[in-house]
Chain A
Amino acid sequence: MTLTGLFRHLFSYRMRALVKKEFNQIRRDRRLQISLVLPPILQLTLFGFALSSNVSDLRLAVVDDNRTPESRELISTLTESKSFRLAGYYASVDQLGDAVSRGDADAGLVVPYDYARDLARQRPTTVQLLLNATNANTATISRAYAQGVLQSYNVNLRQNGIHLQVQPTVAPNLARRGQIQLQPAFLFNPGLVDSWFIVTGVLGLLLILNSTMVASASMVREREAGTIEQLLMSPASTTEIIVAKIAPLFFLLSLMMLAAIAVLRLVFSVPFRGSLLLLICAGCLCILSGISIGTVIATFSRSAQQAQLTSFFLNPPLASLSGALNPIEAMPKWLQPLTVLNPVHHFAAIVRGTMLKGGGFADVWPNFLGLFLFTLVLVSLSVRRFRKQLS
């Protein structure tokens, strides 16, 4: 079909009638409307706040072999922070180890007997932090907290020319007291606001899942109601029917995307360092691939309920294999390549690349290409399936 032919097609009276009908149906469909307005606000906010990995009120057991005002100051600095509270004093490291392994405490702090003396002599001194790594995530985070607290404590001390170091030891490995010192530098998210990581990932999930759901529901509806036959007997071609079905959804989902980006910016103050246009283009591709997934699901389903259940089945792998909520690096090696097949992964990479890093097309093009190819494959697959189902 030539381009002008296509345009004549798109603006024909039939197309107008078809699109108008879809909009009229959407206008009557309260549930669909709500699912287009509520998710960007509710899901983003909920995920952003609830999924955040901030940890507070960890129970800190303490062995203070030093018992000086300086050691007590260190302990109170730690326990007065939001992250730790004092669980009790223990006489020996062994007892403390037991307390941690029994679960009476989440973390332990050992202050050596020469702590105050070293400080007074302006020598670097070392305190030991024991962490219950049963919950590895919490352990990592508490270590980071402790480091953070001590770092700022150090700043105070450094004014006096003193330097304090923390030596983390993970509880099950009490015997192997490592001497490695971490000096992490958090780039692009200096405050380590982890909601930025979460919400930028959730944005992609939100687009894909909602597009899938809305598209499958609206595609299957015509079949469920039995009106598809009537539509097929009309002079409208299958292309016209498909385009007319997708266009209004695409339009509304794009509006939803803009609303979601606004929430990102306004509620979570995610910075906007890169190109907005690039982001929106990626978002549109993401919506299209979501719509295609929904259409494919719809062609395999006899009822709206079935379609809904199938998309529920699809959600978890899409979410967990995307790197949107959890780092890909944390997955087993053999699972990691699968993320390449996930549009959410590419979109999340693009969002983070542009919003947080300020990268341009040159930086994210591999992901862009991935997303584009994925969308292309899905769209053509869904159009084929839909056509086959129609004939």
Chain B
Amino acid sequence: MAEGHTQVIAATPVREVDRDAAEGLAATPAIDARDLTKRYGKVEAVRGIKLEVRPREIFGLIGPDGAGKTSTFQILAGVMEATSGVANIFGSPAREMRSQTGYLTQSFSLYPDLTVAENIRYCGDLRRISPQQIVARGQQYLRMFDMDRFADRLAGKLSGGMRQKLSLICALVPQPRILLLDEPTTGVDPVSRREFWDALAHLSADGLTILVATPYLDEAERCHRIAFMHQGQILQIGSSTELCASLNAKRIELRTPDLRKTESILASHSGPDDDILDVQRFGDRLDLLVRDPDQAQQQVTEELTRAGVSIEEMHVDQPTLENTFVARLRALGQDLHSSEFPSRHNHSSLRGQIAIDAKSLLKDFDGFTAVKNVSLQIRNGEVYGLLGANGAGKTTTIRMLCGLLEPTGGSMELAGATGNLRSEAVRKRIGYMSQKFSLYDDLSIRQNLDFFAGVYGVPDAEREEKIRWVLSFSGLEGKQDQLTGSLPGGWKQRVAFGAAILHEPDILFLDEPTSGVDPLARRAFWTMINRLADTGAAILVTTHYLEEAEQCNRLGMMVAGELVAEGTPSGIKSRQTGHLLQLIVDQPQRAVDLLKHTTEGWRVSLFGERLHLITEDAPEIAIQQTTQQLEAAGLRVFSAREDRFSLEDVFISIVEKARLEGKVSLEK
């Protein structure tokens, strides 16, 4: 984003305040926390934070696992008493204002055996809302979230995204003035996530104040302001643009034919005191965080030419929020220093061989075709990302690929085996990390690791060393006797990942491995995944986070049981037709509503103060037309320009276009 726009954005909050002043609200912040402290015994979870959230604001709280976000939420929701300090909601103590706050916890808190309507009714009854109002508001929100078709469905049968929307509706029915959302989109697919955030933007424009915590920084960019929390303290508050600018660095996207080699060359020249601050590897590019882009480009060119690596593309851009976050944490010395994986087997000889070969896979469940005509090949040494909305058939496909499920049609070859994919010899070569539940909660961490090492036959001589590595990788040294069930989600994922690769598989299936994992740990995951691929393993990953999907060498996108797009991340992006426009206007939500009337809803989305519009027209014409349209309605357009597609934009376009072609089975 160009510097000039930052100015405009900085000006917008002032306008917000003006509007609030007119309503007489400027004097009272919606949320006002001062010197807030929470101690659990000796542990200080929240250490004197100061936080002021303005009315109508979407305020993001980001930070690594264990930063004290959930404690802060519980205090503000009035369900937990602070050890000391002030926590006021509209000028009164949070505990007294509970009727004004809606709180969405991390866990699903609805009744799975009640229907959607019954759940809403129950939540309304609890807050003593009159039945007529419950019905009226319930219908209003169900319509708003495009869920009115599902009023009679059991909550337990909803997909993750719809459950979260239902939780949101239940929180909204008592008409709170403040919404507290603690990681509301964990495990929710990109399409539903975008709808969820569109709904939040809508609600905030209608006057609701929203405080939201998220481990996903592409989501945080949709907040007006963000607070960066770490070890119980708030280190920084600002809009995402401000936070990124505060890093005083630029990002260089670099593409070379040999990323592994390039990474190791540049990594040795990077550090907090060097010109190159940080090197991060993605699926088909490297991201360099640099102080002075010109100087850095020169240095990179010199170093790589000396090593004989050619440069395919070098491109300077603004750092992302994720870059900023990771760089900040690393500056605080929070980088995960795990010991080197004690690799005993090298699968390099397998490199380039086809590990997974699926031809026209078909799966029928009682007349419902979950997967049709899916063909894909994954070679050793490759990281393949499988993307898709909930219900797109991703999980069914993985289960067929790894031999858990017999396909109805098509042929499968796995690790050279074609007939019996479930033989002991095949499974010994496979590592598998299933969605969420791959460890025994009622065993200690150590017992879990011992079990997986034992069942996969890791030789005794290697066992100790490898288990030590997992503990170091997950940052749980010395806690090995802790009960696994007591670990927060992110840590459990780290142990589960470690357990899945203990036996050094040459084919690895990872189903949403990083769900609920903070950005720093996610980075450690991907470093490890890349390293495994470098030693010759074939890796299949699924994720709901498109930013993360950029880490894959190749991607496959599934819609309604079919593979609709496949290629490298850049390849898929470049094949995308149409253009992404970024507009900054004075009444963003009104602009969104206006534009949604004249174009398909998915093409318009609000990211904080920035409005994204996907158009099939030439950018100049589209900018002109849109500006005219908005100004005719009395809105002011501060800036409008073309921006690069994010992978998420591409994914949503692909899904929506497929949906228009009649491939509708997003929600079975």
Write the residues of chain A forming the contact surface with B, with a CB cutoff of 8 angstroms: 13-14, 16-18, 20-21, 24-25, 28-29, 225-227, 229-237, 391
- A-side contacts of B440, CB under 8 Å: 21, 25, 225, 227
Residue-wise, chain B 389-432 has the 8 Å CB interface mask toward A (1 for contact) of 00000000000001010100000000000000010100110101
Smallest Cβ-Cβ distance to B405: which chain A residue: A391
Whether B455 and A227, one on each chain, are in contact in the complex, defined by CB atoms closer than 8 angstroms, is no
How many residues belonging to B are interface residues under a CB distance threshold of 8 Å?
A: 30
26 contacts between A and B (CB under 8 A): A13-B457, A14-B455, A17-B453, A17-B455, A18-B454, A18-B455, A21-B443, A24-B447, A24-B451, A25-B442, A28-B443, A29-B442, A225-B437, A225-B441, A227-B437, A227-B438, A227-B440, A229-B404, A229-B437, A230-B432, A233-B402, A233-B427, A235-B427, A235-B428, A235-B455, A235-B457
Q: Which of B447, B455, B483, B509 contacts A234 (CB 8 A)?
A: B455
Write the residues of chain B forming the contact surface with A, with a CB cutoff of 8 angstroms: 402, 404, 406, 422, 424, 427-428, 430, 432-434, 436-443, 447, 450-457, 483, 509
- B-side contacts of A230, CB under 8 Å: 432-434, 437-439
- A-side contacts of B454, CB under 8 Å: 13-14, 16-18, 20-21
- B-side contacts of A21, CB under 8 Å: 440, 443, 447, 451, 454-455
Bound-complex Cα distance A251 to B444 (A): 23
Work out how many contacts link A and B, with CB atoms closer than 8 A.
Answer: 77
- A-side contacts of B433, CB under 8 Å: 230
Q: Which of A20, A28, A226, A233 contacts B451 (CB 8 A)?
A: A20
- B-side contacts of A227, CB under 8 Å: 437-440
Smallest Cβ-Cβ distance to B428: which chain A residue: A235
Bound-complex Cα distance A16 to B452 (A): 12
Q: Which of B404, B432, B434, B443 contacts A24 (CB 8 A)?
A: B443
Given A13-B454, A21-B447, does the pair A232, B424 have CB atoms closer than 8 Å?
A: no
Measured between C-beta atoms, what is the minimum distance from B485 to chain A in Å?
10
Smallest Cβ-Cβ distance to B496: which chain A residue: A230
Measured between C-beta atoms, what is the minimum distance from A253 to chain B in Å?
20
- B-side contacts of A25, CB under 8 Å: 440, 442-443
Bound-complex Cα distance A25 to B430 (A): 25
Smallest Cβ-Cβ distance to B430: which chain A residue: A233
Measured between C-beta atoms, what is the minimum distance from A148 to chain B in Å?
56
Smallest Cβ-Cβ distance to A225: which chain B residue: B437
Measured between C-beta atoms, what is the minimum distance from B423 to chain A in Å?
9
Bound-complex Cα distance A187 to B551 (A): 84
- B-side contacts of A234, CB under 8 Å: 427, 452, 455-456
Q: A21-B443, A225-B441, A229-B438 are in contact. List 16 more A-B contacts (CB 8 A).
A: A14-B454, A17-B454, A21-B451, A24-B443, A28-B442, A28-B483, A225-B437, A229-B432, A229-B434, A232-B404, A233-B427, A233-B434, A233-B509, A234-B455, A235-B455, A235-B457
- A-side contacts of B509, CB under 8 Å: 233
- A-side contacts of B455, CB under 8 Å: 14, 17-18, 21, 231, 234-236
Smallest Cβ-Cβ distance to B447: which chain A residue: A24
Smallest Cβ-Cβ distance to B457: which chain A residue: A13
Bound-complex Cα distance A21 to B439 (A): 12
Bound-complex Cα distance A227 to B440 (A): 7
Bound-complex Cα distance A229 to B509 (A): 12
Measured between C-beta atoms, what is the minimum distance from B389 to chain A in Å?
21
Smallest Cβ-Cβ distance to A226: which chain B residue: B437
Measured between C-beta atoms, what is the minimum distance from A13 to chain B in Å?
6
Whether A14 and B457, one on each chain, are in contact in the complex, defined by CB atoms closer than 8 angstroms, is yes
- B-side contacts of A14, CB under 8 Å: 454-455, 457
8 A-B pairs closest in CB distance: A17-B454, A226-B437, A233-B432, A21-B451, A230-B438, A235-B427, A235-B424, A17-B455
